[in-house]
Amino acid sequence: MKKKIRTSNKTIAVIGEGITEKYYLNSLSDFIRVNIVPKLPKHTSMAQLEKSIKECTVLGYDSVYVLIDMDNKKEGKNRFDYYKLKNKYNQTTKNKCYIEFFENERCIEMWFLYHFKCTTKEYRESNDIVRELNTLCGYDKTEKFFIKSGGLHDFLCDHGGNFEKALRNANKSMISKEKDGRNCTYSEMHKFFKSVPRK
């Protein structure tokens, strides 16, 4: 998924890996000072992500932000292909376009969970986080739910979650990850929101 963000004379493209990112980013339109135009790629392979990055650099975006779920990039070819792509583009400038990756381990639902609690628990599967969110606020990872929710950002905040708490918890997750050498249970979304202007 690719979103176009305009801030004054600058444009930012946000590329995500699936419909959850699509609906979440759309739900932020009243929250961040941007104009979002959604576009969903046919699939989310590393080849497709690289194609989307290249398209954005050619189209003249000032920045490209790539939101990454780490749940299927832990081993084997998927891991190799992801780190090859990340090492090629992360925090680089191509055609005057700055590119940066932001990871969620296991998935973007980790960021959602940080709206409610801080945890370093290792989740074996993304569905474990989804089930915990369902217990906390009634979250469901289906397009039907995303449409019915009235916007994921508002849904999380209206059901006991707190955005500022999520920022703090995500930051803590990265501090403890670096301190403990963990490779699980973290989100870099607080860095993403530092990069995108908020209302």
The answer to which of 27-36, 104-113, 163-172 has the lowest mean pLDDT is 27-36
What pLDDT is recorded for position 30? Answer: 82
Q: Is 104 left (phi over 0), alpha (psi -120 to 50) or beta?
A: beta
The CA distance from 170 to 190, in Å, is 6
Above 70 in pLDDT, residue 161? yes
Q: For tokens 């339109």, what's the residue?
A: 29
Q: Is 179 or 199 the better-scoring residue by pLDDT?
A: 179
Mean pLDDT value across the chain? 89
104 membership: H or E segment, kind and range: strand 97-105
Above 50 in pLDDT, residue 36? no
Q: Is 197 or 156 the better-scoring residue by pLDDT?
A: 156
The CA distance from 134 to 107, in Å, is 15
Above 60 in pLDDT, residue 160? yes
Above 50 in pLDDT, residue 38? no
| Model pTM score | 0.91
Mean pLDDT over residues 76-104, rounded? 96
CB count within 10 Å of CB 70 equals 20
